[in-house]
């Protein structure tokens, strides 16, 4: 019933698209992380106007499906903004993934920042640091340590979500599998191969996460509250 030879032949075909999938995920992750840090700092410091704007942004991108957002960017926006006519599927997908996951990451990063003991803020202010210096030198590094294992979770999510890019006509791993299946009518084999490759990638990442967590525990932040 399952054509194992066909599956074996398909593996190298799909593997060729691993770099694209992985690249889209890494690019979106970096973008999301930077944007999330900015949003989280704005929320924590309650910077007027920006604070409210960030709230609306986070609410919208958490409150609507990723697929809807991708369609909005790729099919919808060119209608309103001519510059977007030239947008390609990969860019649109990465833009959507960045904004979507930035919204989620901003909230958990905010939690990590608020989890840093109050006396750390006070100690930084007491030596004469500005709010920016306090944030950069003392608070964010401690929040990042707490946030690091969670970050791997988000990366796994992003990696799997890149498969939605095929709905924008991008031939990444999922798109390639879909094309192969359409040609050979071997849907089960094709999607099984792509699923297994995703699974292995995520497994590897989970090991990295477990290692990160052990390392964080060993160098526990300690001394935060006596």
Partner 1 sequence: MSGRCGASLAGLTKRFGETTVLRGIDLCVEPGECVAVIGPSGTGKSTLLRCWNFLERAQAGRVQIGDLSVDAAAATRAEVLAMRRRTSFVFQSYALFANKTARQNIAEGLTVVRGMPQAQADARAMSILRDIGLADRADAYPSNLSGGQQQRIGIARAMALDADLMLLDEPTSALDPEWVGEVLALMRRVAEAGQTMVVVTHEMQFAREIANRVVFMDGGVIVEEGPPERIFSDPTDPRTRAFLQRVL
CB of 43 to partner 1, least distance (A): 20
Q: Does 46 bind partner 1 (CB under 8 A)?
A: no
Which residue in the set 59, 130, 184, 206 belongs to the binding site for partner 1 (CB under 8 A)? Answer: 130
- Angstrom distance (rounded) from CA 55 to CA 110: 12
CB of 219 to partner 1, least distance (A): 7
Q: Does 4 bind partner 1 (CB under 8 A)?
A: no
**Which are the contacts of 77, defined by CB distance < 8 A and separation ≥ 6?**
84, 87
Which residue in the set 3, 88, 119, 203 belongs to the binding site for partner 1 (CB under 8 A)? Answer: 119
CB of 136 to partner 1, least distance (A): 9
Q: Which is nearer to partner 1, 150 or 167 (CB)?
A: 150
CB of 128 to partner 1, least distance (A): 4
Q: Which is nearer to partner 1, 12 or 223 (CB)?
A: 223
CB of 8 to partner 1, least distance (A): 50
Which residue in the set 126, 183, 185, 217 belongs to the binding site for partner 1 (CB under 8 A)? Answer: 126
- Angstrom distance (rounded) from CA 218 to CA 226: 19
CA angle 36, 91, 58 (to 5 degrees): 25
Interaction pattern, residues 191-220, with partner 1; x per rule: CB under 8 A? ----------------------------xx
- Angstrom distance (rounded) from CA 208 to CA 216: 12
**Which are the contacts of 113, defined by CB distance < 8 A and separation ≥ 6?**
40, 41, 44, 139, 140, 143
- Angstrom distance (rounded) from CA 158 to CA 98: 9
Q: Which is nearer to partner 1, 141 or 169 (CB)?
A: 141
Q: Does 48 bind partner 1 (CB under 8 A)?
A: no
Q: Which is nearer to partner 1, 3 or 122 (CB)?
A: 122
- Angstrom distance (rounded) from CA 69 to CA 96: 6
Cα-to-chain-centroid distance, residue 196? 21
CA angle 149, 214, 105 (to 5 degrees): 5
Alpha-helix residue ranges (DSSP H) falling in 46-81: 50-63, 66-71, 77-80
Within positions 143 to 172, which residues make up the interface with partner 1, using CB under 8 A? 145
Which residue in the set 7, 26, 117, 148 belongs to the binding site for partner 1 (CB under 8 A)? Answer: 117
Using CB under 8 A as the criterion, which residues of the chain lie in contact with partner 1 when the complex forms? 117, 119-120, 122-130, 133, 137-138, 141-142, 145, 219-226
């Amino acid at each position: 019933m399952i054509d194992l030879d066909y599956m074996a032949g398909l593996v190298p075909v799909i593997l060729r698209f691993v770099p694209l999938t992985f690249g889209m995920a890494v690019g979106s992750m970096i973008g999301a992380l930077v944007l999330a840090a900015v949003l989280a700092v704005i929320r924590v410091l309650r910077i007027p106007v920006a604070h409210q704007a960030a709230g609306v942004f986070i609410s919208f991108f958490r409150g609507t499906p990723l697929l809807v957002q991708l369609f909005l960017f790729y099919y919808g926006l060119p209608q309103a903004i001519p510059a977007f006519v030239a947008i390609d599927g990969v860019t649109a997908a990465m833009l959507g993934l960045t904004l979507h996951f930035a919204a989620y990451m901003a909230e958990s990063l905010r939690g990590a920042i608020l989890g840093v003991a109050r006396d750390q803020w006070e100690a930084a202010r007491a030596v004469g640091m500005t709010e920016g210096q306090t944030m950069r030198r003392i608070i964010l590094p401690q929040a990042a340590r707490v946030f690091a294992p969670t970050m791997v979770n988000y990366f796994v999510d992003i990696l799997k979500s890149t498969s939605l890019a095929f709905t924008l006509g991008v031939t990444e791993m999922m798109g390639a599998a879909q094309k192969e299946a359409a040609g050979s009518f071997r849907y089960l084999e094709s999607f099984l191969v792509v699923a297994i490759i995703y699974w292995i990638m995520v497994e590897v990442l989970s090991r990295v996460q477990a290692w990160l967590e052990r390392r964080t525990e060993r160098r526990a932040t300690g001394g935060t509250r006596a």
